[in-house]
């Protein structure tokens, strides 16, 4: 690679700084790594004016990398956060009605990040934020069927509530896939259920409960794919580990 011919030590240093092209393109927010590989194979990527090859590496500080003739620039550091959203916060970056936003709770993370999916005003629990658009799209795309588990406190006719919810196959005339439902605790008129879905239709859990005559008193998301809320305090956030981020990228 150019600039790395002044001795063995310099070659080693330059090699350490180089990264695979598909990783650099994805890190710039243009697409996923897999799509970047397809662009390279199609001849759409050039490094220092030369058509790149699959498996090639480059150094963003030294090399000019162009996609379709347009140079890519390093993006800000990619952040992946998990927030324990409290009740009473809307999942938007700003709210014209002046309501509290979940974005305010992660404003001190050092970058502008966006929510991945939604939790409605009265719902709480695990909510992801990132500035990596390709990663967020992978999670949100229906084809990946990312599972989400909720702990739901309900009131009403709780006898056989889990079985009734698991038997639902449509909501307002729209077909839905079966949910996995477990009874965690049951009283005379209230119960706590664990409900796992992967479709994420608008207010799906609340609509499912209403369809079988149950009123939701509390709804809390506790798991998304392999990621669990754990003991993260309400209103607090933490960065995901590299392994946690990678788990969302793995094929099912």
Question: What CATH number is attached to the domain comprising 217?
Answer: 3.30.70.1560
Is residue 59 assigned to a domain? yes
Q: What percent of the chain has pLDDT above 90?
A: 60
Residue 120 annotated to the active site: yes
Model pTM score: 0.71
Mean pLDDT, the chain, whole residue set: 88
pLDDT digits (tens, 9 = 90+) for 117-148: 899 999 999 999 988 878 888 888 777 789 99
Query: Does residue 2 form part of some domain?
Result: no
What pLDDT shows up at residue 2? 45
3-state secondary structure the chain: CCCCCCCHHHHHHHHHHCEEHHHHHHHCCCCCHHHHHHHHHCCCEEECCEECCCCCEECCCCCCEEECCEECCCCCCCCEEEEEECCCCECCCCCCCCCCEHHHHCHHHCCCCEEECCCCCCCEEEEEEECCHHHHHHHHCHHHCCCEEEEEEEEECCCCHHHHHHCCCEECCEECCCCEEEEEEECCCEEEEEEEECCCCCCHHHHHHHHCCEEEEEEEEEEECCEECCCCCCCCEEECCHHHHHHCCCCC
For the segment 82-99, the average pLDDT, to the nearest whole number, is 93
Write down the catalytic residue from 120, 132, 172, 177: 120
Q: Do the domain assignments include residue 3?
A: no
Comparing 30-34, 89-93, 157-161, 204-208, which segment has the lowest mean pLDDT?
30-34
| Domain identity same for 136 and 195 | no
């Amino acid at each position: 690679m150019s600039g790395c011919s002044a001795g063995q030590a310099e070659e080693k240093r330059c090699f350490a700084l180089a990264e695979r092209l598909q990783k650099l393109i994805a890190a710039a927010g243009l697409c996923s790594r897999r799509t970047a590989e397809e662009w390279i194979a199609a001849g759409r990527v050039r490094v220092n004016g030369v058509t790149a090859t699959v498996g090639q590496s480059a150094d963003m500080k030294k090399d000019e990398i162009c996609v379709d003739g347009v140079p890519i620039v390093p993006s800000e550091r990619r952040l992946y956060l998990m927030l324990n959203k409290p009740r009473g916060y809307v999942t938007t970056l700003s709210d014209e009605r002046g309501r509290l936003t979940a974005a305010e709770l992660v404003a001190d993370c050092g970058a502008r990040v966006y929510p991945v999916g939604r939790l409605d005003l009265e719902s709480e629990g695990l909510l992801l934020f990132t500035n990596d658009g390709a990663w967020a799209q992978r999670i949100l795309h229906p084809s990946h069927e990312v599972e989400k588990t909720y702990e739901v406190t309900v009131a009403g006719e709780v006898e056989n509530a889990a079985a009734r919810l698991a038997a639902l196959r449509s909501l307002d005339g729209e077909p839905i896939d079966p949910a996995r439902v477990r009874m965690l605790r049951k009283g005379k008129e209230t119960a706590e259920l664990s409900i796992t879905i992967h479709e994420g239709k608008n207010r799906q859990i609340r609509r499912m409960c209403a369809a079988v005559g149950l009123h939701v008193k509390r709804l809390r998301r506790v798991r998304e794919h392999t990621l669990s809320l754990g003991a993260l305090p309400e209103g607090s956030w933490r960065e995901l580990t590299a392994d946690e981020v990678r788990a969302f990228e793995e094929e099912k």
